[in-house]
Structure 1
Amino acid sequence: MRILIIRSSAIGDVVFASPFATALRRTHPDAHIAWLAEPGIHELLAADPALDEVIVWPKGEWQKLWREGRRIELWRAVRAFRAKLRERAFDVVYDLQGLAKSGFLAWLTGAQRRVGLGSKEGSALLMDEVVERGGDKALIGSEYRHLAEHLGLDLGEFLPRLHVDPAAEQKVLALLAEHGLAPGRYAVFAPFTTRPQKHWTVAAWQALAPRLIAETGLVPVILGGPGDAEAAAGIAAADPRIVNLTGRTRLPEAVAAIRHAALLIGVDTGLTHMGAAFATPTVALFGSTCPYLDNGRANARVIWLAKPCSPCRRRPTCGGSFHCMGDITPAHVLATARGVLGAPHPQEQHA
């Protein structure tokens, strides 16, 4: 059997979906299993032993050709990619994204069986079977677990699994060593994501960092992309001991940094969700989005204040105050961090 998984983006959803590949491998040990992803995202999957192949969809190239009005070249690029997919002769495609773009990619394969998860934007018309999204929303990756159950796969524990690239691991450990940090002696901060209503305030991170160092001895290491540099610099200004690696790590190196962290504190973003993959003690801050309250690990906690307006997702009603996140105090986060680290948890006010 030749199987293709399509979940081309985003980082967090690829993390949530990662046990689906393992369940497929456990159920079909002799199958050829491939995963189709966008450039950059593919690096998250490259070291996964459950996969025989990661296929990179040249999305950026197609978009560039479209913007420049080079329609004939775009058509040729699409045809070439279709040929690449069809020469692999996939028997079944699982579209875990359920969007028009992923449905189109599934259709390009020519596979005899195409199964879509919660297909929308018309992609259901390109599927042979659509499985409605389901499962316990409080459990991490529940919709992918629901699909695996529907398909009768051997689930195992069905928790996120990531695999560290050895070269990336060596590189990030050397980078940390330059700052005097060894594995297990630092805490990763993951403060950044795509929407402002999912952010905790810079002032809150600034207040948390020195207290975390004083009470746990763990040095904060900030991870993020080049576009987060200004906000990261603001957080790092709170204490000279903070290590700011924002924009200095590619995705595989960020994975390795989280793998060796003693603690991970972050907002609803892909890096935070990686904590579950390595059983790294994790404190996840949720506000405008619907949280998983159980990531399957005993050493993880979700802070969600359950405001009446939360989750608002992409339609905030608070006029930009984002108090669902702003009302989470550094004291609350620090107390929760002590809990996941197994440290004493004294009584204190979370005000």
Structure 2
Amino acid sequence: MPILTDPSPRAPASSPLPPAGTHARRFLIIRPSAIGDVVMALPMAAVIKKALPGACVIWLAEPYVADFLRAQPTVDEVLVWPKSRWKELLKARHVTALARDVSAFRRRLKSQPIDVALDVQGLLRSRLLAALSGARRRVGFASKEPGRFLMTEVISKGPRTRTIGTEYEYMVRYLGLWEDGFPMGVSVPQEAFERAQGLLTETLGLQGYAVFAPFTTRPQKHWIRQRWANLAQRIAEEQNLPVVLLGGGGDAEAAEQLASLSPRMVNLVGRTTLLESAAILQGARLVVGVDTGLTHMAVALKRPTVALFGATCPYLHTRSDRALVLYKPLPCSPCRRRPTCKGAFPCMAALNEDDVMNAARRVLAVSAEG
């Protein structure tokens, strides 16, 4: 169970912005999707605003993360990118309508000039969006994707220190903005807490609870289903905590199957918004999850968290003494999107219930110490 405490990434050869007092700058952060990556990139906004008082941070996002980002005090504006509509128009070969949409989106982007566009996704489409912004300076991560010429600067993601969010920290270091930390954090509005509390009271009463975040879009990141059920039983018996299942609407069928294995689980999958899920995570006594957005959110919220990694391992050090990563590297791991084990996923099978319970006890003990 390697738990690394790596230092922050070494500062790159920077290309600093003018001093903070020069004038307020408008930054566009392009990280449209993937909840976990949005959460890990979010500290960039705080660093920018601390280094450049008066700066305006605009976030380009897909609709499903827009409300979450609007609730973050370090994000001044959310620009919603209608990706699904563009894909539908392209698929239907409605080229004229697509061109009109793209042109209107570009006009909106350029209605208030962007000084710096930061593409922290590194895909062709995100580079195109950076170019559409008309920003004089367009900085992005190097990748195998085409479109490098659309950026004015392309940088590496920095040394692999295996610390959460290091590539995003590396970006603000490159810009000369980093000062004294990269603070992970998520803000949850009071109304989301109230709605979440109503749902929890309806299903659990007023008792404490744990949260499981077991669902992802890739099967190689899943833990063995029966082990979740067994773990729920052990947590209920040892810690006197029922388990709340969280996930998106697309996880509903898998959640029903999992919840049927244990009476200790309360299935709220598909019944909460992203902000309501964040509120439920904020109140959890313990969170256990795989490499999925809600797990990363729990880490950012500094909840007692155990993250189960195998085919992917985005980080090992969480910047929090209340969150531990379980990862047992095999010769084939991390395989990411190209598993070779024909569905066996031994990297996840290597994580047993005792491993998870021991880690849970550790993070709960740290939490109890305050």
Same fold flag (TM > 0.5): yes
- What TM-score do you get using the length of structure 2 for normalisation? 0.89
Equivalent pair of 1:202/1:231 in contact (CA under 8 Å)? no
* Compared CA separation, residues 151 and 245, structure 1 to 2 (3 A): same
Describe the SS at the equivalent of 2:337: coil
Q: 1:64 aligns with which of 88, 91, 94?
A: 88
Residues of 1 paired with 2:36 and 2:211: CA distance? 16
Which residue of structure 1 lines up, in the alignment, with residue 305 of structure 2?
282
Which residue of structure 2 lines up, in the alignment, with residue 349 of structure 1?
none
Deviation of 1:329 (Å): 1.0
Which residue of structure 2 lines up, in the alignment, with residue 96 of structure 1?
120
Provide the aligned C-alpha RMSD in A. 1.4
Equivalences for 1:106-145 in 2 at 5 Å?
106-145=130-169
Which residue of structure 1 lines up, in the alignment, with residue 79 of structure 2?
55
Residues of 2 paired with 1:226 and 1:290: CA distance? 25
Deviation of 1:160 (Å): 2.2
Query: How many aligned positions are there?
Result: 342
Q: Does 1:201 align with 2:192?
A: no
Which residue of structure 1 lines up, in the alignment, with residue 256 of structure 2?
233
Q: Does 1:293 align with 2:316?
A: yes
Residues of 1 paired with 2:358 and 2:101: CA distance? 53
Which residue of structure 2 lines up, in the alignment, with residue 152 of structure 1?
176
Which residue of structure 1 lines up, in the alignment, with residue 7 of structure 2?
none
Residues of 1 paired with 2:63 and 2:212: CA distance? 25
Which residue of structure 2 lines up, in the alignment, with residue 325 of structure 1?
348
Q: 2:204 aligns with which of 180, 188, 192?
A: 180
Equivalent pair of 1:291/1:304 in contact (CA under 8 Å)? no
Equivalent pair of 1:26/1:154 in contact (CA under 8 Å)? no
Equivalent pair of 1:219/1:241 in contact (CA under 8 Å)? yes
**Aligned partner of 1:123: which letter?**
G
**Aligned partner of 1:60: which letter?**
S
- Identical-pair percentage: 49
Unaligned residue ranges in structure 1 (runs of 5+): 344-351
Residues of 2 paired with 1:155 and 1:242: CA distance? 44
Equivalent pair of 2:232/2:264 in contact (CA under 8 Å)? no
CA-to-partner distance for each residue in 1:4-62, whole Å, 9 max, x for gaps?
11111111111110111110010111112111011112222111111110110011111
* Compared CA separation, residues 155 and 277, structure 1 to 2 (3 A): farther
Which range is displaced more, 214-223 or 118-127?
118-127
Which residue of structure 1 lines up, in the alignment, with residue 49 of structure 2?
25
Deviation of 1:235 (Å): 2.0
Q: 2:280 aligns with which of 250, 257, 268?
A: 257
Which range is displaced more, 115-124 or 296-305?
115-124
Deviation of 1:157 (Å): 2.7
**Aligned partner of 1:149: which letter?**
R
CA-to-partner distance for each residue in 1:260-308, whole Å, 9 max, x for gaps?
1111100001100012211100000000012411110001111111112
Residues of 2 paired with 1:227 and 1:55: CA distance? 25
Higher RCO (CA < 8 A, seq sep 6+): 2
Q: 2:185 aligns with which of 151, 161, 167?
A: 161
Residues of 1 paired with 2:353 and 2:258: CA distance? 13
Deviation of 1:123 (Å): 2.5
**Aligned partner of 1:78: which letter?**
V
* Compared CA separation, residues 209 and 115, structure 1 to 2 (3 A): same
Residues of 2 paired with 1:159 and 1:306: CA distance? 28
